[in-house]
C-alpha cells in the first residue's frame, strides 16, 4: 500500500476554496480507480500549507492517473490558489494503526 503525499503552500485565505474544489472534483477523478483507497486533506494555518494524503494499493495506478489529461485539467483548477509548486512524494506504508476495540 502507498500513501501519495502532496504538499503545497496556498495563497492567503484560499484554503476553504481549495477544500471545496477537492470535495467536488476528487470523487469523479477516482471513481473508476480500483486501486484508490481514500484521501485526507489537512491544512496548517500557521504555514498556509495544505497536505493531501491519498492511499493507493498501487503506485503505478497513481502514476497512470497523474499522467492523464483529466488529472491535469483538475490540477489547473487548483493552480490559481497555489503560492508554491506542489511537492509530491510516493511513500510505502510501513505501519498503520487503528484504535483497538475492547469488548467489555
Look up the CATH number of the domain holding residue 87: 3.30.70.100
Q: Which domain holds residue 58?
A: 2-92
* Number of folded domains that form the chain: 1
- Indicate whether 102 pLDDT > 80: no
Residue 97 lies in a domain: no
97 to each of 2, 5, 82, 94, 100, how far by Cα in Å? 15, 18, 32, 10, 9
Average pLDDT, the chain: 93
When pLDDT is averaged across residues 22-46 and rounded to a whole number, the result is 94
Query: 47-98: per-residue pLDDT in tens?
Result: 999 999 999 999 999 999 999 999 999 989 899 999 999 999 999 999 988 8
Which of 27 and 49 is assigned the larger pLDDT?
A: 49
Amino acid at each position: 500500500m502507498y500513501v501519495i503525499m502532496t504538499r503545497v503552500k496556498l495563497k492567503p485565505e484560499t484554503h476553504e476554496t481549495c477544500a471545496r474544489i477537492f470535495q467536488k472534483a476528487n470523487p469523479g477523478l477516482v471513481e473508476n480507480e480500483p486501486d484508490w483507497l481514500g484521501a485526507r486533506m489537512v491544512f496548517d494555518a500557521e504555514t498556509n500549507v495544505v497536505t493531501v494524503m491519498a492511499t493507493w494499493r498501487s503506485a503505478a495506478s497513481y502514476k497512470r492517473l497523474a499522467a492523464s489529461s483529466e488529472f491535469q485539467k483538475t490540477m489547473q483548477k487548483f493552480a490559481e490558489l497555489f503560492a508554491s509548486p506542489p511537492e509530491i512524494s510516493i511513500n510505502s506504508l510501513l505501519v498503520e494503526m487503528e484504535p483497538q476495540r475492547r469488548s467489555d
